[in-house]
Amino acid sequence: MQLCNAHGLPIVSLVDTPGFMVGPAIEEQAQVRHVSRMFIAAAHLRVPLFAVVLRKGYGLGAMAMAAGGFHAPESTVSWPSGEFGGMGLEGAVRLGYRKELEAVPEGAEREALFERLVARQYEAGQAMNMAATLEIDAVIDPTETRAWLSRGLAASRMSNEPHRPLIDTW
């Protein structure tokens, strides 16, 4: 990001991330600190960034790939295969519905409840639902990705925003 920004080159971010790993081993490696550099670099961008969610757009990993959030890029689109969530959906259900799951005896009934809750999260996190709630700009056919990016770059080039360098090489 820093290199593109220094040379006035627009950025296309192809997002397919299940998020950051968590836990003591990851914390010992300071992964969040290292990956947070992406957020700092994105905050200083003066060039346009376009995000295309190919498959998974989970948690801080996806936010980092989208310059800090899905509203930060010039535009954020998803292929129909896009899935969204605050973290991996199975983990989100285990954490967010822990009390409800523990209230059901271990076994088939608890597993069925878990599966229903996960299915509900997958439904809510589908690309079409994210576009309908204005979290992303559009869901596009993968074959339209190049045309979408070309239109976005052309529109960005014509922008009158003084903070963005406009160069002829776009």
For residue 130, pLDDT over 60 is answered with: yes
Q: Are strands 11-17 and 83-85 parallel, antiparallel or unpaired?
A: unpaired
Q: Are strands 83-85 and 75-78 parallel, antiparallel or unpaired?
A: unpaired
pLDDT of residue 161: 54
Between 27 and 75, the more confident residue is 75
pLDDT tier, 116 (very low <50, low <70, confident <90, very high otherwise): very high
Mean pLDDT of the chain: 87
Between 155 and 148, the more confident residue is 148
- CB contact burial 26-47 (16+ within 10 A = b; e otherwise): eeeeeeeeeeeebeebbeebeb
For residue 19, pLDDT over 80 is answered with: no
For residue 55, pLDDT over 90 is answered with: yes
pLDDT of residue 132: 87
Query: Dihedral angle at the C-alpha atoms of 90, 23, 44, 14, nearest 10 degrees?
Result: -40
pLDDT of residue 134: 80
pTM, to two decimals: 0.81
